[in-house]
C-alpha cells in the first residue's frame, strides 16, 4: 500500500503568517491527492482535491500544490479559525485509501 | 452540504455485533464506490472497507477482514457495515465516505465491557 508521510507533526504559526504543510507519498499518486481539515469533534472537511483544486466554499487562503510524490498545503495568512489537524490522503490506488498521520496547526 | 447520514453506532461488549448504515440523499449514489473510514480516539484516519458502485466487489483492511462485511442497496441508496466479533480496538468514530470524497458526520462505536 502507498504510505503517506506528513511533516511537521505540529506547526505553530502567528496569525497573519504563512503556514506550509508537507505530504510525501511512498510512490507516485500523480495528482490524486486530497487535503482535509479536522476540528475537534467534527468530521474531516475536504479542502483540496486533485492536489490543487479548492473544494466548494473553501477560502482562497488555502492552496495546494505538487504532483507525483511531493505535495504542499499552504495557508497564506493564518486565521484563528484555522486551528485544526490537517490530513493528506491519496486516492490514486484503491484499495486501500491511505492517509497521512496529520499535522496539527497551532496558533502562536 | 452533508448528504451522507450514518446510523447504528453505540456501545457494545467485546465479541458483540453492530450494524452501521449510511443513507445518501443524492441521486448519483449508484455511480460511486463507497467506503468506511474510522478514527480511534485521539488517532488518525484509517480506511476500513470499500465496495464498488455495482456492489459486486468488496474490500477490507487486514484488521477487520473476516469480521466485518460491507454491503449496499442502490435502490435505497444505502451502504452498510456489519461488524461482528468486535474488539476493544475497534472503538472509533466510523465515517461513511463516497468515492467523490464526500463524508458523513460519523457514527461513534464503543466496544467495552
Asked whether the predicted pLDDT for residue B1 surpasses 80, the reply is: no
pLDDT given for residue B51 in this prediction: 98
pLDDT given for residue A78 in this prediction: 96
Are A96 and B50 a contacting pair at CB < 8 A? yes
Q: How many other CB atoms are found less than 10 A from the CB of residue A21?
A: 22
d(Cα A48, Cα B104) in Å, to the nearest integer?
A: 17
> Residue A5 phi/psi, 5° resolution?
-125, 125
Question: What does pLDDT average to over chain A?
Answer: 97
pLDDT digits (tens, 9 = 90+) for B7-45: 999 999 999 999 999 999 999 999 999 999 999 999 999
Residues making up chain B, counted from first to last: 113
pLDDT digits (tens, 9 = 90+) for A12-54: 999 999 999 999 999 999 999 999 999 999 999 999 999 999 9
**Is A68 an interface residue toward B (CB < 8 Å)?**
no
Asked whether the predicted pLDDT for residue A83 surpasses 90, the reply is: yes
Could you tell me which chain A residue has the CA closest to the CA of B94? A43
Partners of residue A97 in chain B, C-beta under 8 Å = 35, 37, 47, 50
pLDDT digits (tens, 9 = 90+) for B36-92: 999 999 999 999 999 999 999 999 999 999 999 999 999 999 999 999 999 999 999
Partners of residue B33 in chain A, C-beta under 8 Å = 94
pLDDT given for residue B2 in this prediction: 82
CA distances from A82 to A15, A42, A47, B4, B73 (A): 10, 14, 12, 25, 38
Amino acid at each position: 500500500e502507498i504510505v503517506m508521510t506528513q511533516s511537521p507533526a505540529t506547526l505553530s504559526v502567528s496569525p497573519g503568517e504563512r503556514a506550509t504543510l508537507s505530504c510525501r507519498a511512498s510512490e507516485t499518486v500523480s495528482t490524486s491527492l486530497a487535503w482535509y481539515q479536522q476540528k475537534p469533534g467534527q468530521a474531516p472537511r475536504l479542502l483540496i482535491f486533485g492536489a490543487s483544486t479548492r473544494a466548494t466554499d473553501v477560502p482562497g487562503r488555502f492552496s495546494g500544490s505538487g504532483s507525483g510524490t511531493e505535495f504542499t498545503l499552504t495557508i497564506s495568512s493564518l486565521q484563528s479559525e484555522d486551528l485544526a489537524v490537517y490530513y493528506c490522503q491519496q486516492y490514486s490506488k484503491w484499495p486501500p485509501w491511505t492517509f497521512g498521520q496529520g499535522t496539527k496547526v497551532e496558533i502562536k | 452540504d452533508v448528504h451522507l447520514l450514518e446510523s447504528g453506532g453505540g456501545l457494545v461488549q467485546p465479541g458483540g455485533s453492530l450494524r452501521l448504515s449510511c443513507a445518501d440523499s443524492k441521486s448519483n449514489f449508484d455511480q460511486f464506490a463507497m467506503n468506511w473510514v474510522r478514527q480511534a480516539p485521539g488517532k488518525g484516519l484509517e480506511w476500513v472497507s470499500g465496495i464498488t458502485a455495482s456492489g459486486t466487489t468488496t474490500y477490507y483492511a487486514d484488521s477487520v477482514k473476516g469480521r466485518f462485511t460491507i454491503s449496499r442497496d442502490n435502490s435505497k441508496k444505502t451502504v452498510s457495515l456489519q461488524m461482528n466479533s468486535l474488539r476493544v480496538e475497534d472503538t472509533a468514530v466510523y465515517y461513511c465516505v463516497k468515492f467523490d470524497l464526500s463524508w458523513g458526520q460519523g457514527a461513534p462505536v464503543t466496544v467495552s465491557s
